[in-house]
Amino acid sequence: MHIITQKRIWEAKEKWPKAANALDAWYRLMKASAPRDFAAMKGIFPATDKVGPHHVFDIGGNKIRLIAIVHYGARRVYIRDGEWKELPMNAILDQAAQHWSYIAPLLSEPTNDDEYDAKVKALDELLDTVGDDENHPLAGLVARLGDVIEAYDEQHRPMPPVSGAAVLRYLMDEHGVTQSELPEVGAQSVVSAILSGKRKLNWRQICGLSERFGVPTDVFK
């Protein structure tokens, strides 16, 4: 999935440093996954609810809540700022819906943080109107803005690498699994050694965990 914007993850990590590792693991899992609908999303992130058009993800055992709008067809997760309100389409957005084909070429990638912030603000306003309706007349504009924002994020504030052990710990917390309940890995002592960084997951263990949690094998490498 494409995640927009990464800046909000970094801001959350600065505000709630104890949840930083969980946020990094959530990002890696989401980035590597491609759920087709909410049921599939909940299979990967069981501590997830849907309130209107919003997905609410409990991060790190409910340490913080991440609010997003998900467009499954476009494989995009738009992280919101937490303000849940309905705004009417203003005149500018109404014109954009009618003249999208003329507006699209004007959308360029931001060259600095001020331009980036302006595009994020515009995306937020659009999402207040579009919500999770991927057939909305403005859905294409939302996707294009998301693309240029994501490209800027990946160039200027890339997310840090996350170990397979950190992802496993996150999934255990998310699914309420203890160290003694992972036969795919082995005995509790083996699980403990992997989580502490003393051992690494082997390919057999990775395949077993991938099948159990319904996530790509890449997240454990």
The per-residue pLDDT for range 48-106, each reduced to its tens digit, is 988 888 998 888 766 788 889 999 999 999 998 643 233 344 555 665 666 666 565 45
Report d(CA 179, CA 221) in Å as an integer: 20
Does the CA dihedral 131-132-135-138 come out positive or negative?
A: positive
Q: How high does pLDDT run on average in the chain?
A: 87
**pLDDT computed for residue 102 by the predictor:** 54
100 or 46: which leads in pLDDT? 46
Sheet harboring 2-4: ordered strands across? 2-4, 76-79, 64-71, 54-59, 48-51
Domain coordinates in residue numbering, the chain: 2-156, 164-220
Share of the chain above pLDDT 70, in %: 87
156 or 140: which leads in pLDDT? 156
The per-residue pLDDT for range 164-202, each reduced to its tens digit, is 999 999 999 999 999 999 999 999 999 999 999 999 999
Note whether 91 and 102 are within 8 A (CB). Answer: no
**pLDDT computed for residue 88 by the predictor:** 45
CATH of domain 164-220: 1.10.260.40
Q: Is the pLDDT of residue 129 over 60?
A: yes
Tell me the helix, strand and coil percentages in the chain, rounded to 5: 55, 10, 35
**pLDDT computed for residue 137 by the predictor:** 79
User: Among candidates 67, 52, 57, which has minimal Cα distance to 26?
Assistant: 57
**pLDDT computed for residue 221 by the predictor:** 86
Band of residue 44 on the pLDDT scale cut at 50, 70, 90: very high
User: Among candidates 4, 9, 5, 8, which has minimal Cα distance to 162?
Assistant: 9
